[in-house]
Amino acid sequence: MQNKLIDLQHITKSYGSSTILDDLNLYIRENEFVTLLGPSGCGKTTTLRIIGGFETPDSGAVMFQGKDITSLPANKREVNTVFQKYALFPHMTIAENIAFGLKIKKKSQSYINDKIKYALKLVNMDGFGDRMPDSLSGGQQQRIAIARAIVNEPKVLLLDEPLGALDLKLRQDMQYELIRLKNELGITFVYVTHDQEEALTMSDTIVVMNQGYIQQIGTPTDIYNEPQNTFVADFIGDSNILSGIMIKDKLVEILGARFDCVDTGFGENNPVDVVIRPEDIDLTEPEKGTIEGIVTDVIFKGVHYEMCVMARGFEFVVHSTDCVPVDSRVGIHVDPFDIQIMHKAEYDDEKAVEIDE
């Protein structure tokens, strides 16, 4: 996992007057499952298309195994793409679709036949070779699109929101399927999505993007537990984001009350942003909590209850498997390691923007 397979250096891309990517730097290691995650318009798809060779950056370089491939056309790159809307050739059978890349590489017919058989088995589509694409369901077409890409044995598989058009159950099945495929093939996956759950489930590394900037790079647990700014905190999962003042190391003041935390190095009496995940808030007897509040709303979500608790003018979102009835007086307690302290946003770009999902 050490070698840099793809290295994007100072990539800038704009269309007309709107800048899509601004000085983007990102490297992707061998055999890594990297997810580019962000709201629409954040530049994630453009980044993928630059790696695939469908877009040329205005400036910057795309390095592949140490070689500059910035101006190499898509058909000469050792990467293959799975397109959002599958893009299967409608006038060819499934087998012909899968064979497309191999025929262009002038492989022997017996090699091609073996590969088709292998690929169909790999994506659990045995016996579909003679069907036409439009006779398959969306999920099946997606599998074929993946099969068509991987028979070419690419070093990197690029996936552009491949599960976006599938329904929830199928999407979850395909997530496990993709993880299995990645492990079996042992190649690098670069995956684009706006679905944070997808990203958390499948990725080795998540790259959170917004407005053409990378907001944070990290493992799913890093990204979830230690968001570096309010945008990441807000985009990944539900969160309570509050303004606070760092009194000193390991002590933060929120809504006039002092909470113990584990963060250090934010100076003394500095304004900070504080993130508390809804599931990390414990509701207690009123007098046992750090601050007191009133439950204003309870929604049953299946696995847990989502409760709104009004305390000192801030509405906390709380997730718990125990239901506390509306109008109850409760105490709010948060364990020190569940409080995440972040610097106040320095740039406007970093600030949380409206998330469209």
> How far are the Cα atoms of 140, 141, 147 from residue 86, in angstroms, in the given order?
10, 6, 11
Secondary structure in 3-state letters for the chain: CCCEEEEEEEEEEEECCEEEEEEEEEEEECCCEEEEECCCCCCHHHHHHHHHCCCCCCEEEEEECCEECCCCCHHHCCEEEECCCCCCCCCCCHHHHHHHHHHHCCCCHHHHHHHHHHHHHHCCCCCCCCCCHHHCCHHHHHHHHHHHHHCCCCCEEEEECCCCCCCHHHHHHHHHHHHHHHHHHCCEEEEEECCHHHHHHHCCEEEEEECCEEEEEECHHHHHHCCCCHHHHHHCCCCEEEEEEEEECCEEEECCEEEECCCCCCCCCEEEEEEECHHHEEEECHHHCCEEEEEEEEEECCCCEEEEEEECCEEEEEEECCCCCCCCEEEEEECHHHEEEEECCCCHHHCCCCCCC
Which CB atom, from 191 or from 259, has the smaller least distance to another protein?
A: 191
* Interacting span for another protein (CB under 8 A) from 22-30, 68-76, 296-304, 319-327: 68-76
Member of 35, 80, 188, 340 binding another protein (CB under 8 A)? 80
CA atoms within 13 A of residue 190's CA, in its CB half-sphere: 27
* Alpha carbon distance 25, 117 (integer Å): 39
State the nearest-atom distance from the C-beta of 147 to another protein, in Å: 12
Build a one-symbol-per-residue string for 117-146: x at contacts with another protein by CB under 8 A, - elsewhere: ---------------x--------------
State the nearest-atom distance from the C-beta of 77 to another protein, in Å: 8
Which CB atom, from 87 or from 345, has the smaller least distance to another protein?
A: 87
Question: Does 54 contact another protein by CB under 8 A?
Answer: yes
Which CB atom, from 87 or from 166, has the smaller least distance to another protein?
A: 87
State the nearest-atom distance from the C-beta of 56 to another protein, in Å: 13
Which residues, numbered 83-102, are part of the site for another protein (CB under 8 A)? 83-85, 87-91, 100-101
Which CB atom, from 57 or from 101, has the smaller least distance to another protein?
A: 101
Member of 152, 196, 211, 215 binding another protein (CB under 8 A)? 152
Judged by CB under 8 A, the number of residues near another protein is 26
Which CB atom, from 99 or from 295, has the smaller least distance to another protein?
A: 99
* Interacting span for another protein (CB under 8 A) from 17-25, 28-36, 50-58, 322-330: 50-58
Question: Does 53 contact another protein by CB under 8 A?
Answer: yes
Question: Does 186 contact another protein by CB under 8 A?
Answer: no
Which CB atom, from 105 or from 312, has the smaller least distance to another protein?
A: 105
Member of 52, 129, 162, 289 binding another protein (CB under 8 A)? 52
Q: Are strands 251-254 and 329-334 parallel, antiparallel or unpaired?
A: unpaired
Question: Does 314 contact another protein by CB under 8 A?
Answer: no
Question: Does 73 contact another protein by CB under 8 A?
Answer: yes
Which CB atom, from 97 or from 229, has the smaller least distance to another protein?
A: 97
Residues that bind another protein (CB under 8 A): 52-54, 73-76, 79-81, 83-85, 87-91, 100-101, 104-105, 132, 148-149, 152
